[in-house]
Structure 1
Amino acid sequence: MTTVAIISQKGGAGKTTLALHLAAAAVDDGRVALIVDTDPQATASQWAGWRKDEPPEVIDSPPPRLAAKVEQAQAQGAEFIVIDTPPHADSAARAAVEAADLVLIPCRPSAFDLSAIQTTSKLVQLLRKPAFVVFTAGPPNAPRVYQEAGELVESFGTPPCPFQMSDRAAFRHASAEGRTAMELEPDGKAADEVRQLYKWTCRQVDVLAKYQDGKAAA
């Protein structure tokens, strides 16, 4: 089983969008995926309600119960768990990091957002968990922006993920409809970004993803 924590002390970083799409990519990859929503705003849970019974399943959990919920989900057959956390909540972030195999820190590639993730970087370093910064909601075609942002987060002690989730309309439209970018535009650029990020995530925890050339293998 793989457990990925999505954490950031900065609001508006795209945590829930990243969590939903990673879990949905795992479902497309033929795995039993689950999102654990620790955010009191329950955005992920609301999205799941719009989807009716379509996977991935979303359950909520207060931070003190998170480890038990993850263990229970594993016992019930969950293969890929993504923990979505609220901003400005040290207890939830710490519990998520402790329960995770891998930590992803979403961050917009802007000066204020980049500066704000230093607290999150220090937390994962303190708890000695593998962690990467995932740039979100940035310009689709701006390699220099991502290069400079990557160099900065590297200086914080947390390396950047080589794949981004750019600012694309498909992410906004899909979430508003209780769908994913892969469902809305299966061959679109947003969907491809998610698949690449999912494959990379799996490699970090030594899980073989079935995606090949941007599409699920038969």
Structure 2
Amino acid sequence: MKVISIVSQKGGVGKSTISIHLATAAVIKKKEAALIDLDPQASASKWSDSREAEYPVVISCQASRLEKVLAAAQEEKADFVVIDSAPHSESAALAAIRAADLILIPCQPSILDLRAISDTIDLVRLAQKDAIAIALLNCVPTRGTLGDEAAEAIKQYSIPIAPVKISERTAFVRCLSAGLTVMEYEPKGKASEEIWQLYKWICQQVKL
């Protein structure tokens, strides 16, 4: 079982959107997948409630119960588990980081996000976890050089950057409102292509 934790101490960076899409991508690829929602706002859980499809399974829990939930997922022979962590919560972030095989730190190409990423990186180092922590640029404008400039700015933190950038596209907003993902809403669209590239790259990193 591989565990992918989506962690950021800053809110509004797209953790739930990324989590939902990665877990659903795994399901589409015939993996036994689950999404664990640690965020009190329960965005992923509310998305699941509005969804007609039964999968991916979304489990809302507190950080203190994460270990037991992961043990249950292991017993159910899950292949791919995504943890949607909570912002502004060191306990939730640390629990997600310690459980992970791969840690994704979403970051939008804004000065506030770029400054805030250091807090999350500090938590990864505090946890002394061997898992790879990767910065993921999210909501990148499809035109202009903001994405490249943000990638250059992240280099100061000595953390790898995912080679796939997730762009700012209306398909992400519309699909989630309908209880879907971009792969289901617009399967041949550019947003769907980016998610598949990210999923494939993650699977390569964790050898799944």
Q: What is the TM-score normalised by the length of structure 2?
A: 0.95
Give the whole-Å Cα distance in 1 for the aligned partners of 2:204 and 2:39.
27
1:100-130 per-residue CA deviation (whole Å, 9 max, x = no partner) reads 1000011101111111110101111232331
Aligned residue number for residue 99 of structure 2: 99
Change in CA separation of 1:184 and 1:52 when aligned onto 2, cut-off 3 Å: closer
- Note if contact 2:109-2:137 (Cα within 8 Å) is conserved in structure 1: yes
Aligned to 2:120: 120
The number of residue pairs the alignment matches comes to 206
| 1:179 Cα offset (Å) | 0.3
- Structure 2 counterpart of 1:2: 2
Matched AA of 1:195: W
1:139 to 138, 141, 152: 141
**Aligned structure 1 segments of 4 or more residues deviating by more than 2 angstroms:** 125-129, 144-148
Determine if contact 1:38/1:85 at 8 Å carries over to the other structure: yes
Further displaced range: 124-133 or 170-179: 124-133
String of CA shifts for 1:71-98, please: whole Å, max 9, x gaps: 2111112110000011100000000000
Secondary structure of 1:36's aligned partner: strand
- 2:178 aligns with 177
Q: Supply the distance in 2 between the matched residues of 1:189 and 1:92 (Cα, whole angstroms).
A: 32
Structure 2 partner of 1:150: 151
The 8 Å contact of residues 121 and 157 in structure 1, kept in 2 or not, is answered as no
Hey, what's the Cα distance between the residues in 2 that align with 1:204 and 1:90? 26
**Which amino acid in the other structure matches residue 153 of structure 2?**
L
How big is the shift at 1:53?
A: 4.4
Identify which range, 186-195 or 124-133, moves more after superposition. Answer: 124-133
SS at match of 2:31: coil
Give the RMSD, CA atoms, in angstroms: 1.1
Match of 1:57 in 2: 57
Please tell me the residue identity of whatever aligns with 1:54. E
Please identify, of 151-160 and 109-118, the stretch whose mean Cα deviation from structure 2 is larger. 151-160
The answer to whether the Cα contact below 8 Å between 1:6 and 1:85 also exists between their aligned partners in 2 is yes
Q: 1:42 aligns to what?
A: 42
* Amino acid corresponding to residue 180 of structure 1 in structure 2: T
Equivalent in the alignment of 2:69: 69
Instruction: Report the TM-score, using the length of structure 1 for normalisation.
Output: 0.91
Q: Name the residue aligned to 1:21.
A: 21
Write the distance in 1 (CA, Å) between the matches of 2:167 and 2:185: 16
Percent of pairs identical after alignment?
A: 45
Alpha-carbon distance in structure 2 between the residues aligned to 1:147 and 1:53: 37
**AA at the equivalent of 1:20:** I
Residue 193 of structure 1: CA displacement?
0.4
Alpha-carbon distance in structure 2 between the residues aligned to 1:34 and 1:199 = 17
5+ residue gaps, structure 1: 208-218
SS in 2 for 1:170: helix
- CA deviation digits over 1:11-38, x for unaligned, max 9? 1000000000001111111101100001
CA contact (8 A) 2:138 2:166 kept: yes
Q: How far is the alpha carbon of 1:145 from its aligned partner?
A: 2.3
> Which digits, 9 at most, give the CA deviation of each residue in 1:130-164, with x for residues without a partner?
1111111110244x322221222221122111101
Which residue identity does 1:182 align to in structure 2?
Answer: M
Letter of the structure 1 residue corresponding to residue 191 of structure 2: A
Task: Give, as a single letter, the amino acid of the residue that structure 2 aligns with 1:204.
Answer: Q
Counterpart for residue 79 of structure 1: 79
